[in-house]
Structure 1
């Protein structure tokens, strides 16, 4: 029972990691130190997509599933819980490109915001400091 709950907790954490991957750059606009974690997460995400690297969270979930007497995930986390569930499997590559674009936009926005703060330019939406 505990192992199954831990496997489900790891699954929830994994979803949280993916959400952070998408929106973490925007969070850095408000909390600049978040950017360090986001860059590391984006680099890891890129490695997992480009190379056949197993994610440690998937490994951990499978270990807990095994301890609970459940079969391992048939594929990776994304193959099991995301592809074909949140979008059609045929859209996997366009979704990956879209996520990459969102990350790049968030980083460009972060850069522009920090540059404006340093130069004394407008910071807020209203243009007021």
Structure 2
């Protein structure tokens, strides 16, 4: 008679991983962002830009010329305030020194994101 080994006989225990809460949530966020399609990102950023235009908020879709970057990214630039808002992880974009990078949440709707963007821009004027 041969020995038959069942998978249940060879259980592998998951060892606890020592990771901080911030790292854990960061990893979850990155995983979620990676699962968003480029089409979904493009739609969200387009909606945000359309709302900003309708409210007469000046912004750029591309990095300023002194950045020496030409690529369009999932980002919105405010050169006067030296603030850039990025959607998710933007690997191609290197944020220049002196600029502040804020993340746009991909789980919020465009109107809520615009409200937060406008508040942060106004806070940078007064702060």
Give the TM-score of the pair, scaled to structure 2. Answer: 0.25
Q: Larger C-alpha radius of gyration, 1 or 2? A: 2
Give the TM-score of the pair, scaled to structure 1. Answer: 0.25
The structure with more helix, counted as a fraction of residues: 1
